[in-house]
Amino acid sequence: MITFAANFSTFFQLLPIHMVVFFKKGATLITAVDTDHKLSDVEKQKLSWLFDGAKPLASTSVSGTFIGPRKEMITPWSTNAVEITQNMV
């Protein structure tokens, strides 16, 4: 059983980091960004610009009722946003 635990721990160390960062503008607009790494301050500034001044939230979750596409759904806006962020200098 100890060998299994060690292997199990090693398995999780090999998994890529997965996190969601929330940006908020005003009282009702929240944008979620799915990322595979911790965002740098420069990346947060660029995304804040892209999201029209929305500020990153320190919390790792939000509560309430939300309306929007499911996270699995790819929209034309999300496709464009991904391409824009990949090309931002």
pTM given for the model: 0.69
Is pLDDT at 25 greater than 90 in this prediction? yes
31 sits in which H/E element: strand 29-35
As a whole number of Å, the CA-based R_g of the chain is 17
- Is residue 79 scored above 90 in pLDDT? no
Tell me: the pLDDT tens digits for 36-45?
889 999 999 9
Q: Is 30 exposed, middle or buried (0-12, 13-18, 19+ CB in 10 A)?
A: middle
The span from the CA of 35 to the CA of 67, in Å, is 21
